[in-house]
Amino acid sequence: MAMHWARVIEMLYAAEWMLELSQDPEITDTNIRGKLDTPGEGVGILEAPRGTLTHHYKADDNGITTFVNLVVGTTNNNAPINLDVKKSASALIKNWQVSNGLLNMVEMAYRAYDPCNSCATHTLPGQMPMRAIIRRSDGSVYKVLSNF
């Protein structure tokens, strides 16, 4: 859950920086468009609340995009997301009694890494379609919970 506090600190810093940048005469100058080079290929990497975003584009001679490859934070965070989802689900299941809040707690663990998923999947807050499959130690299915 420390990710939430880190996001608050980053948002506060971003707001302070935006104020500073909005008063910078070079940024507010009317001559802001640079000369465009010949279209080709470009890669951009930036840090965002979801994690590192990698954008890779190719364009034809007319500047029309012909190839796009995006590697988003969810991809980069896949391993820790899976570990925390497992950890939260394991903590809620005691003596094979499944808590009614299991899916909400699992969703909380997921959202600590990827708060944008509800927009990306077009779901409303608290209504992320999720299915939890609870397995016995031999791998057989004990119970399936679903909120959709």
State the 10-residue block means of pLDDT for the chain, 148 residues long: 78 92 84 74 84 89 89 81 85 74 75 66 57 84 79
Cα–Cα dist 116/88, whole Å: 20
pLDDT for position 140: 92
pLDDT for position 17: 93
Tokens standing for residue 104? 């909400």
Which position has the token pair 């910078």?
A: 24
pLDDT for position 16: 95
For the chain, how many helices (H) and strands (E)? 5, 5
Cα–Cα dist 50/75, whole Å: 10
pLDDT for position 41: 92
pLDDT for position 36: 67
Q: How far is CA 18 from CA 11, 23, 53, 101, in A?
A: 10, 9, 21, 39
